[in-house]
């Protein structure tokens, strides 16, 4: 499994807590997060952490959580192009499927912040169904004004 935007490796901890065998590759743009992840998981032979995206192998599944939300001062359209490029990379690194979440633009307007990115869930669903697979699920039932897309190949 690939964890794109792994942070300090919390998903690896969760997988280990499930008691199942797994292989885990964590990628994060932040070198400091990778240092922390390696320290926290020293001796975990099933886990590899890197800040080099090219080192991320093609795996059965690739997941990304929370990596699209904070755009800071980047213009909406520019960040949106970035999001689509990364979603393409998630799919390219996956054999069986990928999953990611985003803030939904279908939230209360008074709660929206200019430094956060809010995507149209239906546009993302259509993008994934036309580009990757007809087997796509859109989960829009979170109380946190976010949605999750699951793509199965």
The string of pLDDT tens digits covering residues 2-58 is 999 999 999 999 999 999 899 999 999 999 999 999 999 999 999 999 999 999 999
pTM of the shown model: 0.95
Distance CA 36, CA 28 (A): 11
- Do 85 and 152 belong to one domain? yes
- Do 74 and 15 belong to one domain? no
- Do 84 and 145 belong to one domain? yes
- Do 72 and 25 belong to one domain? no
**Residue 63, beta-bridge partner list:** 3, 99
Range of the domain at 35: 1-57
- Do 115 and 149 belong to one domain? yes
Q: What is the predicted pLDDT for the residue at 20?
A: 87
Q: In the listed set 57, 77, 97, which residue is the last one of a domain according to the structure?
A: 57
Q: What is the predicted pLDDT for the residue at 27?
A: 98
- Do 85 and 136 belong to one domain? yes
Total domains, the chain? 2
């Amino acid at each position: 499994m690939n964890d794109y935007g792994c942070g300090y490796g919390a998903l690896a901890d969760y997988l280990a807590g499930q008691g199942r065998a797994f292989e885990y590759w964590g990628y994060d743009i932040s070198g400091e997060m990778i240092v922390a992840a390696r320290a926290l998981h020293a001796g975990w032979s099933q886990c590899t952490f890197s800040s080099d995206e090219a080192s991320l192998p093609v795996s059965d599944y690739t997941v990304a959580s929370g990596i699209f939300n904070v755009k800071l001062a980047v213009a909406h359209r520019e960040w949106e192009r970035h999001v689509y490029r990364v979603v393409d990379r998630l799919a390219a690194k996956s054999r069986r499927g990928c999953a990611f979440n985003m803030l939904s633009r279908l939230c209360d307007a008074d709660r929206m912040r200019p430094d956060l990115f809010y995507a149209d869930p239906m546009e993302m669903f259509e993008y994934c169904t036309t580009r990757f697979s007809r087997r796509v699920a859109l989960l829009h039932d979170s109380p946190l004004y976010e949605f999750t897309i699951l793509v199965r190949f």
